[in-house]
Amino acid sequence: MSRKILVADDEAHILHVVSMKLRNAGYDVVTAVDGEEALELCKSECPDLVITDYQMPYMDGLELCLAMRATEATRNIPAIMLTARGFDISPADVEAAGIRAFLAKPFSPREVLRKVEELLGAPAGVV
Amino acid sequence: MSVAGKVALPRITGSTVVLCLGAGAALAGSVLAAVALPGVWNLLAPLLCLAGLGVAWLVWFRSRQALAAVGGQLQTMAASGEINLVPPRALGSMGQVVSPLNSLLESARNQIERLKGERRELQIHARVAETEKHNAEAIIFSISDAVLVTNRYDELLLANEAAEKLLNFKLAGNQRKNVDSVLGDATLVQLIRDTRSHGRSFTRKVVEHVVAAKGDGRTFNVTLSCVMNGSDEVSGVVAVLHDVTREKEISRMKTDFVSNVSHELKTPLASIKAYIEMLVDGEAESEETRQEFYEIISTETDRLHRLIENILNISRIESGVVKVVREPISLSGVAKQVLDVSSPQAKLKNQKLVEKLAPVYYQVEADHDMIYQAVMNLVSNAVKYTPEGGTVTITVGADERRNTGFCEVSDSGLGIPADDLPRIFDKFYRVQANNKMAKGTGLGLTLVKHIVEIVHGGTLSVTSEVGKGSTFRFELPLVK
Are B188 and B300 members of one domain? no
Are B112 and B69 members of one domain? yes
In this structure, are residues A32 and A60 in contact, taking their beta carbons and an 8 Å threshold? no
8 Å CB contact of B263 and A84:
yes
8 Å CB contact of A105 and B267:
yes
pLDDT for B26-83, tens place per residue? 566 556 555 555 677 777 888 888 999 999 998 888 888 877 877 887 888 888 877 7
Q: What is the pTM of this model?
A: 0.57
Asked whether residue A104 is domain-assigned, the answer is: yes
**Which residues in B lie closer than 8 A to residue A14 (C-beta atoms)?**
267, 270-271, 274
The CATH number linked to B169 is 3.30.450.20
**Mean pLDDT within B241-266:** 85
Give the number of other Cβ atoms within 10 Å of residue B3's Cβ: 13
Question: Angle CA(B475)–CA(B476)–CA(B478) in degrees, nearest 5?
Answer: 125
* Range scoring the smallest mean pLDDT among B182-191, B327-336, B346-355, B439-448: B439-448
Using a 10 angstrom Cβ sphere, with 0-12 exposed, 13-18 middle and 19 or more buried, the burial of residue B386 is buried
**Which residues in A lie closer than 8 A to residue B267 (C-beta atoms)?**
11, 14, 84, 105
Out of A20, A57, A84, closest to residue B438 by CB: A57
Are B97 and B184 members of one domain? no
Out of A11, A17, A84, closest to residue B278 by CB: A17
pLDDT for B169-220, tens place per residue? 998 999 899 999 999 889 999 999 998 888 765 567 888 888 876 667 889 9
Asked whether residue A34 is domain-assigned, the answer is: yes
8 Å CB contact of B283 and A107:
no
8 Å CB contact of A106 and B277:
no
Q: A7, A13, A34: best mutation site toward chain B, by most B Cβ within 10 Å?
A: A13
Question: For chains A and B, what is the number of CB pairs under 8 angstroms?
Answer: 66
Q: Which residue of B has its CA nearest to A88?
A: B259
pLDDT at residue B36, as a whole number: 58
Q: Is the pLDDT of residue B338 over 60?
A: yes
Bridge partner residues of B404 (DSSP) = B399, B477
- For chain A, the first-to-last Cα distance in angstroms comes to 13
Residue B282's pLDDT band (cuts 50, 70, 90): very high
Q: Which residue of B has its CA nearest to A9?
A: B267
Are B220 and B263 members of one domain? no
**Which residues in A lie closer than 8 A to residue B413 (C-beta atoms)?**
none
Are B352 and B443 members of one domain? yes
Are B388 and B354 members of one domain? yes
Q: Is the pLDDT of residue B257 over 50?
A: yes
| B420–chain A Cβ distance below 8 A for any pair | no
- In this prediction the ipTM stands at 0.90
Asked whether residue A82 is domain-assigned, the answer is: yes
| A59–chain B Cβ distance below 8 A for any pair | yes
Number of domains present in the structure of chain B: 4
Residue B433's pLDDT band (cuts 50, 70, 90): confident
Number of domains present in the structure of chain A: 1
8 Å CB contact of A106 and B274:
yes
Are B130 and B75 members of one domain? yes
Q: Is the pLDDT of residue B16 over 80?
A: no
* Separation of alpha carbons B421 and B429, rounded Å: 11
pLDDT at residue B33, as a whole number: 55
Q: Is the pLDDT of residue B283 over 70?
A: yes
Q: In angstroms, what separates the C-alpha of A66 from chain B's closest C-alpha? A: 17
Are B234 and B298 members of one domain? no
Using a 10 angstrom Cβ sphere, with 0-12 exposed, 13-18 middle and 19 or more buried, the burial of residue A101 is middle
**Mean pLDDT within B421-441:** 79
Give the residue from B49, B51, B53, B47 showing the smallest Cα distance to B19.
B53
Residue B8's pLDDT band (cuts 50, 70, 90): very low
Asked whether residue A127 is domain-assigned, the answer is: no
pLDDT for A10-31, tens place per residue? 888 899 999 999 999 999 999 9
Are B127 and B55 members of one domain? yes
Q: Is the pLDDT of residue B15 over 50?
A: no
Single residue among B243, B276, B303 that ends a domain in this structure: B243
Are B290 and B306 members of one domain? yes
**Which residues in A lie closer than 8 A to residue B438 (C-beta atoms)?**
57
Asked whether residue A126 is domain-assigned, the answer is: no
Q: How do the residues of chain B divide into helix, strand and coil, expressed in percent and rounded to 5?
A: 55, 20, 25
Asked whether residue B305 is domain-assigned, the answer is: yes
Using a 10 angstrom Cβ sphere, with 0-12 exposed, 13-18 middle and 19 or more buried, the burial of residue A69 is middle
Residue B118's pLDDT band (cuts 50, 70, 90): very high
Asked whether residue B249 is domain-assigned, the answer is: no
Give the residue from A10, A7, A106 showing the smallest Cα distance to A56.
A10
pLDDT at residue A89, as a whole number: 78
Q: Collapsing DSSP states into helix, strand and coil, what is residue B249?
A: helix
Asked whether residue B248 is domain-assigned, the answer is: no
Interface of B with A in 219-278 (CB under 8 A): 259, 262-263, 266-267, 269-275, 277-278
Domain encompassing residue A92: 4-119
Are B343 and B469 members of one domain? yes
pLDDT at residue A64, as a whole number: 93
8 Å CB contact of B271 and A11:
yes
Residue B463's pLDDT band (cuts 50, 70, 90): very high
Asked whether residue B421 is domain-assigned, the answer is: yes
Asked whether residue A72 is domain-assigned, the answer is: yes
Angle separating helix axes A109-120 and B245-280, nearest 10 degrees: 90
Q: Which residue of B has its CA nearest to A103?
A: B270
pLDDT at residue B201, as a whole number: 59
* Separation of alpha carbons B412 and B466, rounded Å: 10
pLDDT at residue B89, as a whole number: 61
Q: Is the pLDDT of residue B456 over 70?
A: yes
* Separation of alpha carbons B46 and B472, rounded Å: 138
Domain encompassing residue B367: 327-477
Are B103 and B170 members of one domain? no
**Which residues in A lie closer than 8 A to residue B266 (C-beta atoms)?**
84, 105-106
Single residue among B319, B347, B372 that ends a domain in this structure: B319
**Mean pLDDT within A47-62:** 89
8 Å CB contact of B273 and A58:
no
Residue B7's pLDDT band (cuts 50, 70, 90): very low
8 Å CB contact of B270 and A106:
yes
Q: Is the pLDDT of residue B115 over 70?
A: yes
Question: Angle CA(B208)–CA(B210)–CA(B212) in degrees, nearest 5?
Answer: 165
| A17–chain B Cβ distance below 8 A for any pair | yes
Asked whether residue B441 is domain-assigned, the answer is: yes
Q: Of A92-106, B8-22, B290-304, B381-395, which has the strongest mean pLDDT?
A: B381-395
The CATH number linked to A26 is 3.40.50.2300
Single residue among B319, B343, B374 that ends a domain in this structure: B319
Q: A10, A11, A15, A17: best mutation site toward chain B, by most B Cβ within 10 Å?
A: A17
8 Å CB contact of A14 and B263:
no
